Amino acid sequence: MTEDRTPQHDEPESRFLSGYDPHAFAPAAVTVDVVALTIRPEAGTGETGARRTGTPHVLLTRRAAHPQRGRWALPGGFVRAEDGPDGPADPDLPDAALRVLSEKTRLPTELHLEQLGTYGARGRDPRMRVFSVAHMLLAPDLPDPHSGRDTEEAAWVPWSELGHGEGSRAGRDLAFDHGRILADAVERARSKLEYTALATAFLPSAFTITALREVYQAVWGRTLHAANFHRKILATPGFVEDTGELAEHGGSGGGRRARLYRAGGAALLHPPLLRSTQ
């Protein structure tokens, strides 16, 4: 299509490519790491009867192999650049992220996966230069994970047990620079809830406004005024659309049955739903 722009030099591109040796470059590895976030009832809090509103959890694995054996880490693995003995190449980075995650837990049909960023500082992995493409995955209440190859243990860990970001509340410290990656993911999720309809990714296909508010409350870690939230959601075009149905049952204590909504078409919220500054 742009043949006319090619300069009239000697060597055609096809001949150049056949003489190319990919191994001439310094070795560098590309991995994917996945910050899988879901909202599930806090483990251990065995309240019976009372409403379980759920808290955000992240999927962590304990490394069974060197380096950093025994430490908690994000699920991840090497990207398959070409077809090889381990299996076919990953067509793109999201495919690689879903592949490494599917070794740890069963993936739902509806999920949100986005790239967070790439971490490639020298020395972050002692083996060699490793460039790690971090992803963030959001999904409704995922089941308990199973261990995989190279993994001793895998578990959903509540955010409250981690020292993510501000303050030096030590928490579990993660292998490599995974603590930083996790902190970046949490901040990204919190921020995207303001400007996008991302919160619905934590919920099943039909949900109530209250459930949506509880997602915001869980991720932001603060309570919201229920009536104002309700008004705002319904006033934001394309955020949710009415299914016409009602929720099954309001729990043990009775109460009006909530209307069920599904995610609307809008990806961006106009105007945004800001965390108030107070």
Partner DNA sequence: AGAGAAAAACTCAGGTTGAGAATAACGAGG
Partner DNA sequence: CCTCGTTATTCTCAACCTGAGTTTTTCTCT
Indicate the helix (H) or strand (E) that contains 213: helix 209-220
How far apart are the C-alpha atoms of 87 and 90, rounded to whole Å? 9
Using alpha carbons, list the distances in angstroms from residue 52 to 58, 213, 232: 18, 14, 24
30 binds, among DNA, a second copy, none (CB under 5 to 8 A by kind): a second copy
Binding mask 135-174 for a second copy (x = CB under 8 A): -----------------x--------------------x-
* Pairing status of strand 72-73 against strand 76-78: unpaired
Using alpha carbons, list the distances in angstroms from residue 198 to 36, 47, 137, 193, 256: 14, 29, 11, 6, 27
The widest CA-to-CA distance across the chain, in whole angstroms, is 82
DSSP string, 31-91: EEEEEEEEEEPPTT----SS----EEEEEEEEE-SSSSTTSEE--EEE---S-BTTBSPPS
How many residues line the site for a second copy (CB under 8 A)? 56
Tell me whether residue 93 or residue 107 sits nearer to a second copy (CB atom).
93
149 binds, among a second copy, DNA, none (CB under 5 to 8 A by kind): none
209 binds, among a second copy, DNA, none (CB under 5 to 8 A by kind): DNA
How far apart are the C-alpha atoms of 176 and 125, rounded to whole Å? 7
C-alpha gyration radius of the chain: 23
11 binds, among DNA, a second copy, none (CB under 5 to 8 A by kind): a second copy
Does residue 188 bind a second copy (CB under 8 A)?
no
96: which strand partners?
none
Binding mask 23-42 for a second copy (x = CB under 8 A): x-xxxxxx------------
Tokens of 103: 């070794």
Whole-number minimum distance, CB 224 to DNA, in Å? 8
152 binds, among a second copy, DNA, none (CB under 5 to 8 A by kind): a second copy
Does residue 277 bind a second copy (CB under 8 A)?
yes
Whole-number minimum distance, CB 27 to a second copy, in Å? 4
35-94 residues in contact with a second copy (CB under 8 A) are 66-71, 78-82, 84, 89-93
Query: Angle, to 10 degrees, between the axis of helix 209-220 and the axis of helix 226-235?
Result: 110
Q: Write out the residues near a second copy by the rule CB under 8 A.
A: 1-2, 5-7, 9, 11, 13, 16-17, 20, 22-23, 25-30, 66-71, 78-82, 84, 89-93, 115, 117-118, 120-122, 126-129, 131, 133, 152, 173, 195, 270-272, 274, 277
Q: Write out the residues near DNA by the rule CB under 7 A.
A: 51, 208-210, 225-228, 230-232, 234-235, 246, 249-259, 271, 274, 276, 278
